[in-house]
Structure 1
């Protein structure tokens, strides 16, 4: 298996800055010349594990009633985060967002991770929640989203029935507490550096560059020392 430097991201599907952080990371990696040697791993984190499975409140009502925030402050905050999303090319329709427990979505994410499709599912979940107003607790909806990104529709049902995936979520959350994660998104670079929040691409790029340089020192490229050379053919068709 190819050795790559890991960027681990603790995130919750319902965190508006996590989707923005994903875009900023992608922007940073586009500028990073060694991006092919980076592996992005999505980790589970629940901002509110007590959220109901069935929607009871709008985004505004949730923040006003559960977080005890003044409504004018909430409206200003949501307008600000919607504008921040727009700046990175995202469309947030927070008035349509269905506020439900994200546990089932995280179970599907854990399953997708085992199939190498965690990044694709995370993108689909974010879009479904923030832009399309889909219910990310509904199993039929989640099954459809998983199918759309290439997961086998029958196989992915184990995400909701096998306790192993709930256990993986608990492990991610416990690890987050252990390393001092106070909020999401949180980026763990090579298990050595931590970047908290939806930082600008330039900040992420600087930290990735630093972490990767140290990772490369510990994981040098394997290059054979040429002891002799003879006639050969090159990929461009030259034989001499």
Structure 2
């Protein structure tokens, strides 16, 4: 059966992207349209020039990045941790490692051909936010590949040869063309966009609208949001 595509622009280091992933999944859980959609994860880099620094945790990075003191950074991250907990997610910012996400995006692209993107995304988010693993570290990425049943060695080769680098860059370029300035950003059938970690109802309504129209075959692009929802942009998260 031909399926309607939902594309999700996301970055592993974006705390609202993991929260958005959960809310989006919950919106699909009991949906009558669940089997009508296919999901594709797209790459976005909040800070493409970030140097991976295992000695720096997220609280310290946020303080530096936003020019605030450590106590304020911890307070902001505590709020996000609480929001994540409501979705059943555990965030350990004090042990999360600041890392450039480009290689993690290469793994997501590698997984695409095998239908394992969603599994890889889940492991990447968990590694970063919960387990305090360095998602720029080759061994960590190979371990994730292995866990989802992909060839860790073939992935390593792909990474070293830069085979999928252009695909990651293409996603980032495409986001710019669509006017996407922050993530998560969910695009339904290239027709409707949901910006940020919106409430579950927004995802549900957008899915219904998109599927109904997909069946009827229309196409212009508009952004759906009930309120300003939290998302992350190049200037930081808000």
TM category (shorter chain) comes to: 0.7 to 0.9
8 Å Cα contact 1:10-1:43 kept in structure 2: yes
Q: In structure 1, what is the Cα distance between the partners aligned to 2:162 and 2:154?
A: 15
Q: In structure 2, what is the Cα distance between the partners aligned to 1:159 and 1:91?
A: 32
- Aligned ranges for residues 55-74 of structure 1 at < 5 Å? 55-74=54-73
Shift of residue 3, structure 1, vs aligned partner: 1.4
CA RMSD, Structure 1 to Structure 2 (Å): 1.4
Could you tell me which residue of structure 2 aligns to residue 44 of structure 1? 43
Q: In structure 2, what is the Cα distance between the partners aligned to 1:53 and 1:63?
A: 14
- Aligned ranges for residues 161-172 of structure 1 at < 5 Å? 161-172=160-171
Higher mean C-alpha displacement, 200-209 vs 67-76:
67-76
Please identify the structure whose Cα radius of gyration is greater.
Answer: 1
Could you tell me which residue of structure 2 aligns to residue 194 of structure 1? 193
- Aligned ranges for residues 144-163 of structure 1 at < 5 Å? 144-163=143-162
Q: Structure 1 or 2: larger strand share?
A: 2
Q: Secondary structure at the match of 1:154?
A: helix
**Number of residue-to-residue matches in the alignment:** 218
8 Å Cα contact 1:108-1:159 kept in structure 2: no
8 Å Cα contact 1:186-1:195 kept in structure 2: yes
Query: Deviation per CA, 1:206-237, whole angstroms, max 9, x where unpaired?
Result: 01110110011239xxxxxxxxxxxxxxxxxx
Could you tell me which residue of structure 2 aligns to residue 17 of structure 1? 16
Could you tell me which residue of structure 2 aligns to residue 91 of structure 1? 90
Q: Secondary structure at the match of 2:52?
A: coil
**1:203 lines up with 2:164 in the alignment:** no
Query: Deviation per CA, 1:55-105, whole angstroms, max 9, x where unpaired?
Result: 242211111112213434322210111001000111111111010111111
8 Å Cα contact 2:45-2:101 kept in structure 1: yes
Moved over 6 A (4+): none
TM-score under structure 2 length normalisation: 0.88
**1:142 lines up with 2:141 in the alignment:** yes
Q: Secondary structure at the match of 1:57?
A: strand
Shift of residue 155, structure 1, vs aligned partner: 1.8
